[in-house]
Structure 1
Amino acid sequence: MREPVDVPIDDDVIRLGQFLKLANLIESGAEAKTVIAAGLVRVNDEIELRRGRQLRPGDVVAFAGHSARVTG
């Protein structure tokens, strides 16, 4: 897998579903719900099933061969 792309956020935390859209890894919130529930999204190399998981700077999200790192 390629090096993660850095994606800055405005606040201290962001929810996983929102971050997937912000990082352009998915198209919509409905898609976020579907791919997360299917176990296709990894946070820090672990499968994450909670769309509301709070991410902080340094966390790395991976989906469909792409990855993005939360930055402040």
Structure 2
Amino acid sequence: MDTTDFALRGDYITLDALLKATGWASSGGDAKAAIADGRAVVNGEAETRRGRKLRAGDVVEFDGHRAAIQAAA
């Protein structure tokens, strides 16, 4: 599983926006469907809320990818 550090630009990013920003989902619709199918895991637990706010310290896993959320610089 490849791991990426994702630096926030503000206080948080939503789960669907993260999937689009990392390129793991090609569109908002794809992100929404993948999340609804339970393919996203946040901090070790399946997450089905596309608007889930991700903050520094959270870890997201999706289809063989992992992103560690980092605080804004």
Aligned positions, number: 71
Residue 36 of structure 1 aligns to a residue whose secondary structure is helix
Q: TM-score, normalised by structure 2?
A: 0.89
Over the matched positions of the two proteins, sequence identity in percent amounts to: 45
Q: TM-score, normalised by structure 1?
A: 0.90
**C-alpha distance in structure 1 between counterparts of 2:23 and 2:62, whole Å:** 11
**C-alpha distance in structure 2 between counterparts of 1:43 and 1:24, whole Å:** 17
Summarize deviations over 1:25-52 as a string: whole Å, max 9, x none. Answer: 2111101100000011100110000000
Ranges in structure 1 where 5+ consecutive residues have no aligned partner: none
> 2:51 aligns to what?
52
Q: Which runs of 4+ in 1 moved over 3 A?
A: none
> 1:71 aligns to what?
70
